[in-house]
Amino acid sequence: MECRPGCAACCKIFGRPERPRICGAFQPDPLICGQSRAEAVKIMAELEDIDSGKFL
Ligand code: SF4
């Protein structure tokens, strides 16, 4: 898929030192980007919660 124009849901940390290197290789994918910017933000927040160990 192509990035949605103006989405930027995953770009909040571009250029910041805490941005994980793996993010540079990220390609738009419906599983992460969802069908809208709002859905992308929701999916990424859920992934952040999982990554933080909140559910362990
Ligand atoms: S969330 Fe997906 S569509 Fe939105 S800017 Fe990032 S890669 Fe592009």
Chunked into runs of 10 residues, the chain (56 residues) has average pLDDT values of 88 69 79 93 87 79
Ligand 1 centroid from CA 19, angstroms:
15
Q: What pLDDT score was predicted for residue 26?
A: 79
pLDDT for position 22: 66
Residue nearest to atom 2 of ligand 1 (CA): 33
Atom of ligand 1 nearest to the CA of 8: 5
pLDDT at 19: 66
**Residue bearing the CA closest to ligand 1, atom 7:** 28
CA distances for 7 relative to 25, 30, 41, 50, 55, angstroms: 18, 13, 10, 23, 28
Note the pLDDT of residue 29. Answer: 93
Look up the pTM and report it: 0.74
Ligand 1 lined by 30 (C-beta under 6 Å): no
